[in-house]
Amino acid sequence: MDKQKLRRAIRAARAAIPEDERRSASVAIRENLLDQPWVQMAGLVACYWSDEEEPSTHGLVFALWKHGATVILPVLRDDDDLDWAVYDGPGTLAPGRFGIMEPVDTRRGVDTIRTAALVIVPALAVDEKTGVRLGRGGGSYDRALARVGPNVPTVALLNDGELIEGVPVEPHDRTIRFVAMPSGLVKLG
């Protein structure tokens, strides 16, 4: 299956998930992550503000922030690369280019992700054997992940059933090290 067909299939499956299941799945993902000592100890966390089709990160971002982590969220640049700004509570977000909420704080630059102790990224699917993530197709997160050091935990948030075999790979695609799902955390590779 090519990437576009796989993206459409996963988006359709996500759209069919009832709202109450979506909420409980997001809570389970958050709790699975927050139970990890390496998540609890991360001082600077790069995350993202989820949209309606993704497992929600809203409670996760808030919990990390309330527990003392500095959380940086992406700001989509005109060239589709990701700049980063600090999340400083629910009132510090505004709609960005595609309506996705972004921090209103000072932009810190595309290389800010290099200093993160934990990187949490969106994905539509992840290949269970290779760790290659399937994104939305813009390449923004592949560029950002290319800046992350090899020992930094990178985590994709997925629904159960989205850790699959056979994600198509292109030269620019980046791998991730962990997948957090409602059913648990999976270390890849």
pLDDT by residue (tens digit) across 75-130?
999 999 999 999 999 899 999 988 889 999 899 999 999 999 999 999 999 999 99
Q: Determine what percent of the chain is predicted with pLDDT higher than 70.
A: 99
pTM of the entire predicted model: 0.95
Whether pLDDT at 17 is above 70: yes
Q: Phi-psi region for residue 117, left (φ > 0), alpha (ψ -120 to 50) or beta?
A: alpha
Share of the chain above pLDDT 90, in %: 89
Which domains does the chain show, CATH number per domain? 3-187 (3.40.50.10420)
Tell me which DSSP letter residue 121 carries. Answer: E
Q: Given this model, what pLDDT does residue 189 score? A: 79
CA-CA distances (angstroms) from residue 121 to 1, 60, 91, 101, 135?
A: 23, 12, 22, 15, 9
